[in-house]
Structure 1
Amino acid sequence: MPGGRGPWRVLLTAALLALAGCGFQLRGSVEIPPTLNPLYIQADAGSPVRRALLDLLAGSDVEVTRNATEARMVLRILAETSSSRVAAVDINGKTLAYELHYMVQFDALGEAGVQLVAPQGLDLVRTFDNPDVEVLGKRLEQDLIFEDFATEAADRILTRLRVALR
């Protein structure tokens, strides 16, 4: 039935054109003006957010340099802390849940130290249940949550950079 494939092609073409026309981009694509390449990420050694930023920028058009003097933009991770506090206890005083926090402060500087993005903060929060069973597994789960926080913080930082640099 050769006549049945034509409408599908038209519909598929129309859908692709609509997506292209609305500015849709795959998540993870980074829009930093070419005039601000290369980028230098200034953070403490072993920073989870720095590692996550490098992973998100891999394969993008953004060049990352290891030398701050070569950079046209410096993304500074000013502070990065993780903490937890008790969120719920039972009648015996045993902890049932924790509230996990991951806080990141950052800014971005251009050439000659011109501030491109003012200092901003992120506070990511998640509740973490603490049942009696699988104590070792819960510690690993908590570590994974903090890794997810670092990735989410990196994604939000790049989103804020996109908006601020337009």
Structure 2
Amino acid sequence: MLLLTLLLLTACGYHLRGAIDLPEALNKMYVKGASPELSAAIERTFRTTSGELVASPEEAGMILNVLDEDYQRRTVSLDVTGYSNEYELIYRLSFDLLDSEGKELVSNQTIEVMESYYNAQTSTTLLSKDNEEIVLRRELYEEAVRSVIQRARAELKKKFH
């Protein structure tokens, strides 16, 4: 019965949450100019796929050239005592995508992802709220990576159709 269920799930196109199906050109990607946080997010994303990050542009099917990254934390609201109690986290990524021959597929694209969270600062919740921001920041980077992959997939579809 379990085997039958698994077969039915795979036949209907079911994938684990966060799993990404990469086109062949994206199976080997070289990343240039990324921050350590972005590099780690790309590695985590590629671990759930059939893709791999390569050490040189010559090995790559696609090159992600990071032009600029910007992470900001902005105060959205204050409590009655003047302390921040809600923040908005914003991550912007500007990049080019190059094919295996170094030709631009996507030029100077910017992705912006944001998340807000409530931060009632008390002595008992301060540490957990710091951890919450770390987790949200990590998720922002991973969402940006998924957006880059979606744009690459769309450009590859245009190029080969």
Query: What TM-score results when the alignment is normalised by the length of structure 2?
Result: 0.76
For structure 2, the 5+ residue unaligned runs are: none
Cα 1:31–1:72 change in 2 (3 A) is closer
The RMSD of aligned alpha carbons is: 2.9
Of 72-81 and 37-46, deviating more is 37-46
User: What is the distance in 1 between the residues matched to 2:48 and 2:80?
Assistant: 52
Partner of 1:104: 93
The answer on whether the counterparts of 1:43 and 1:50 sit within 8 Å (CA) in structure 2 is: no
Question: Which AA in structure 2 matches 1:123?
Answer: E
Asked if 1:132 is matched to 2:121, the reply is: yes
The answer on whether the counterparts of 2:29 and 2:60 sit within 8 Å (CA) in structure 1 is: yes
Which of the two has higher C-alpha Rg?
1
User: What is the distance in 2 between the residues matched to 1:102 and 1:81?
Assistant: 6
Which residue among 44, 47, 71 is the counterpart of 2:60?
Answer: 71
The answer on whether the counterparts of 1:30 and 1:162 sit within 8 Å (CA) in structure 2 is: no
Question: Which AA in structure 2 matches 1:136?
Answer: L
Partner of 1:19: 12
Deviations 1:84-111 (A, max 9, x none): 1111123443322111111112221124
User: What is the distance in 1 between the residues matched to 2:10 and 2:142?
Assistant: 31
Partner of 1:41: 31
User: What is the distance in 2 between the residues matched to 1:146 and 1:62?
Assistant: 24
How far did 1:165 drift?
0.9
Partner of 1:4: none
How far did 1:149 drift?
0.8
Percent identity, aligned pairs only, is 25
Which residue among 129, 140, 144 is the counterpart of 2:135?
Answer: 144
For structure 1, the 5+ residue unaligned runs are: 1-8
User: What is the distance in 1 between the residues matched to 2:117 and 2:48?
Assistant: 34
Deviations 1:3-38 (A, max 9, x none): xxxxxx8xx7xx669725xxx65542332235x653
Deviations 1:101-124 (A, max 9, x none): 111122211244310123221211
